Structure 1
Amino acid sequence: MPTSPAQPPRPEPQPTESLLPEPQPTASRRPQPRPARRLPPGHLTAACLTLAALLPTHAHAAPVTITAAWSGTAYRLTLRGLTPTDGTLRAEPDRSGATLTFRAALPPLNRTVRTATGDLTITIKGHTVTARTADRRPLRVNLSYIRPGVIPGQDATTAIDLYPPESWTEYQPEPTTPCTPSRPGAGVPGAGVPSAGVPELPYQPPTFATGPVGFYLAQIDPRTGTPLRVITHDPDSLYPLASTYKQVIAWAAYRDINAGTLTLNTRLTVTEANRSIETYQPGTRTVQNLITQAITRSENTASDILHLHLTPQRVQALADAHGTCHTRVNMTTKAWWAAQAGLLPGVYGPDLPTSAQQAFTAPPEQQAATAAQAVTQAQTLNADTLLNALDRYFYSPAYHPQTEVYLQNRSTPREWATLITRQYLDPTLTPTNRSALRRTLAQGCCRVNDPSVTYWGSKAGSGWRNLTMSGLLTLNTGQTFVYAYFNTGSDLMDSALIEQQLPSVAQYILQNARRIGKSTP
């Protein structure tokens, strides 16, 4: 696996005592919680998507050959010998078809495919592939580069998957009951408690997103964290957190540093057991390096090493102690990916969808025990083998977006935003450690380059049809906002493409913060 270069720690700014503005980093990094070595797929959106060049640019050694057959719930065109160094996908305005254009000439094809709800017509001529539904029903199209070994016995291929209307699986946000005003033994108000009497502005949905969106944005008192005005949508339903949960790992690490049980120079070693999927830095690494890489590059291995050292039980206890009642942060990335890939049958059994739902609805003590088993057993797996198995799972009929909230770390928009507020305000941290944590989070994805923003702390995450972003920002007016954006079940598959929405998500958050700011008397 390729490795990421080490980044030296930034010099510390002067510590602060509240959420008032601090110096900004010069850049942020885009998260990569899914493989970056696959060609981004295209889907039916209003925009024209330009595909990145992820394959070699050498000339074709042989003519392109195409095979077409059902692959699970999708009708797949497999293009062998194609190097899609440049291509576009354009959607019909009514979403009933798509046109794909490649540099390479393709063999001609005219085919009608019968489905349960009507016919699909596929035409290939010259450099162009067109797909349409005869009855003008929505058709979802996914263009992707499938790495060698993902499909057993098959070399790398480019695939065009056509999903007729009846084959598409939708995500249904899992409803919850908001936390009670206080939890016995917690010592703080419930983190997901709606604030009575707080003015709420109307929700305006993001125009770029498809699928369910959970959203919570609040202007807060920068010293107490009290919500002053809010914009919400489905704030009390559960969504998978993806990599946005990694900021709580950084928080837990700084609490141990603050307590003197850990230092930034403590060295932890990457092993076969604690290595997760995708790119990573091998060897023995400092806690400073691990925290930085987990936030700036969303490195799964760095996050998992810290998570295992801190222990998932203690990280979960941190969330519980701050009044959450639905938030779960006790799964390492390797554990939830292994569970989704079906590589933990000893934990979840042979019928993954049923077992995952049973684990999700089990009593809290049993949920915790199952998560602990998954974390332990995942450490016996090779990360490269896991990555191939995971890709096969996502391309198979076994995938359903509902399993992500069952198996991954999860929260509600309201609970998560409130927990993030308490992370930034944590009175147990010294001013120096609080400032260092804030500085690290300011290096996360995806600050808008706007002079009105004086602080932007963020962590994003992505996955198969899943995009998340949460954090805190301060405007030059002194107004401070906390936000949580969750989009699961998007029409866009694979993080490489859905991550292209991250700048739009950040702009959407900033626009809503300004809406609240302008409404302030």
Structure 2
Amino acid sequence: MVRFYLARALLGLLTLALLLCGCRRDEATGTSPVVLERRDPPATPELAPAGTARGEDGCLLPAPHAPKAPPPPFHLSGRLGLWVAEIDPVTLRPLRAVGTNPDSVFPLASTYKQAVLWALLREYDAGRISPTRRFNVTRQNQSLGSYPFDGTNVHDLSLRMIRNSDNTATDILHRTVGLDKVQAVADGLGLCHTRLILPTRDWWVAQAGLSATFNGTARWAGASGETRRRLAGLIDQDAQAYRADYVQRKLDEYFDHRYAPDDDLRVHNLSTPYELGTLVAHEFLRSGLSPRALKWQQEVMASGYGRSALKAEKAGRVAAFGGKGGNGWRILTYSGYLRTRDGHHLVYAFMQHGADQTYTLPNTRRAFAWINAGIDAVLGPGTARAPASTGHHP
């Protein structure tokens, strides 16, 4: 049997792999988009960020009512989620959208890495990190798969993290920024079903049964706030005690003999299609970054996978793009932002969990066929130009 993570390390040198690397049931049944309710921008955006309609608990409310996404044009197995929306660039609220299971929780795999970049750039703006700072690969920070040369600087690590989906580069940056600073990307938007706190090797160590902290508590899956921060720090300490090749071997044994899909939801970073789409909208249209940090973000995120797979790109309609994908054992995820040449701002989030295929990258064409169908349904033929924006454009 070809083991998934060994295949990922090898195929990571090839084309597509280089580019990657609780829940309310949707009741809408139509496939044509409707215009969602427009609301005035919040009076105090610093307290209620644009586009985040929150409940009394501070959490983002469920996805606004939208038609069900058209069915996937080609068969996709497992549990599926999709959110495709046109975003008002001023209020960041969805104008038109389609979705399938938009409020269901899925494992993110490497798609979470865009949040590490956003948190990193916040630290850069705050003067706490330099793009020229250099790192070596050590036993403590090496993750699974290929990894950067010793002495790689922060800027190049960020590019490897998004363009190559390099796990070691990600973990170095995630720990440098701080586990809680990456989680704060979600918490600040009220994304209460989104967990971004664990570096890559941490969730694999936990899934392989090697973390005494994870094994010894029943509180992790539902933890938040200080409890989650404390447990994440202890899991991270556990993860750094093992050599990467040992983790790989134990993980292979787990997937060969003990794999259970529910374990993915316990160990991985998580989100819902709607919450991830909300994060992407803010990431690209209301990031709060300085012009120099925005330039860094735009250049790096443009290197992520997805633009070439969009029908709009083949038609010459895409003026700007940023995307990230991820794959794991029976897991595939994609998210992205695009601005069309006629002024529409769109976000998409695709999630697959429990696929029949253990290695899911070959499902990419089918995934993007569905994403493209969602974009077609949202834009429709002859959609009018979106309102003029005062926000930042990549």
Q: Which residue number in structure 2 is paired with residue 239 of structure 1?
A: 106
Matches of 2:298 and 2:306, distance apart in 1: 15
Question: Could you tell me how far 1:372 is from its partner in structure 2?
Answer: 1.8
Question: Could you tell me how far 1:38 is from its partner in structure 2?
Answer: 8.3
Equivalent position to 1:212, from 51, 74, 79: 79
Q: Which residue number in structure 2 is paired with residue 505 of structure 1?
A: 367
RMSD (Å) for aligned C-alpha atoms? 2.6
The residue type paired with residue 308 of structure 1 is R
The within-5 A match list for 1:62-141 is none
Unaligned runs of 5+ in 2: 12-21, 26-41, 385-394
Question: Could you tell me how far 1:364 is from its partner in structure 2?
Answer: 4.8
Query: What is the aligned residue count?
Result: 339
Contact 2:220 2:231 in 1 (8 A): yes
Equivalent position to 2:280, from 420, 440, 444: 420
The within-5 A match list for 1:212-291 is 212-291=79-158
Equivalent position to 1:319, from 169, 186, 189: 186
Matches of 1:470 and 1:36, distance apart in 2: 23
Contact 2:63 2:102 in 1 (8 A): no
TM-score, normalised to structure 2, is 0.79
- Alpha-carbon deviations, 1:22-57, whole Å to 9, x = none? xxxxxxxxxxx93326899xxxxxxxxxxxxxxxxx
Q: Which residue number in structure 1 is paired with residue 355 of structure 2?
A: 490
Question: Could you tell me how far 1:236 is from its partner in structure 2?
Answer: 1.1
Question: Could you tell me how far 1:187 is from its partner in structure 2?
Answer: 4.2
Question: Could you tell me how far 1:515 is from its partner in structure 2?
Answer: 1.9
**Bigger Rg over Cα:** 1
The residue type paired with residue 35 of structure 1 is L
Tell me whether 1:294 sits opposite 2:161 in the alignment: yes
Question: Could you tell me how far 1:243 is from its partner in structure 2?
Answer: 0.2
Matches of 2:290 and 2:76, distance apart in 1: 40
Equivalent position to 1:382, from 219, 223, 243: 243
Q: Which residue number in structure 1 is paired with residue 7 of structure 2?
A: 36
Contact 1:195 1:227 in 2 (8 A): no
TM-score, normalised to structure 1, is 0.61
The residue type paired with residue 5 of structure 2 is R
- Alpha-carbon deviations, 1:310-365, whole Å to 9, x = none? 0101111232112211211110100000000111134314xxxxx6x652135654
Matches of 2:306 and 2:5, distance apart in 1: 17
Equivalent position to 2:69, from 203, 210, 216: 203
Unaligned runs of 5+ in 1: 1-32, 41-173, 350-354
User: Secondary structure of the equivalent of 2:337?
Assistant: strand
Matches of 2:200 and 2:194, distance apart in 1: 16
User: Secondary structure of the equivalent of 1:467?
Assistant: strand
Contact 2:62 2:103 in 1 (8 A): no
The residue type paired with residue 462 of structure 1 is N
Equivalent position to 1:400, from 260, 277, 280: 260
Equivalent position to 1:359, from 220, 230, 238: 220
User: Secondary structure of the equivalent of 1:236?
Assistant: coil
Contact 2:71 2:370 in 1 (8 A): no
Q: Which residue number in structure 2 is paired with residue 517 of structure 1?
A: 379
Question: For the structure 1 residues 240 and 291, does the alpha-carbon distance in structure 2 shift closer, same or farther, using more than 3 Å as the test?
Answer: same
Contact 2:122 2:289 in 1 (8 A): yes
Structure number with the higher helix fraction is 2
The residue type paired with residue 373 of structure 2 is Q
Contact 2:70 2:377 in 1 (8 A): no
Relative contact order (C-alpha < 8 Å, sep 6+): which is higher?
2
Question: For the structure 1 residues 307 and 510, does the alpha-carbon distance in structure 2 shift closer, same or farther, using more than 3 Å as the test?
Answer: same
Question: For the structure 1 residues 344 and 195, does the alpha-carbon distance in structure 2 shift closer, same or farther, using more than 3 Å as the test?
Answer: closer
Matches of 2:222 and 2:265, distance apart in 1: 11
The residue type paired with residue 456 of structure 1 is F
The residue type paired with residue 202 of structure 2 is A
The within-5 A match list for 1:432-511 is 432-447=292-307, 448=309, 449-450=313-314, 451-494=316-359, 498-511=360-373
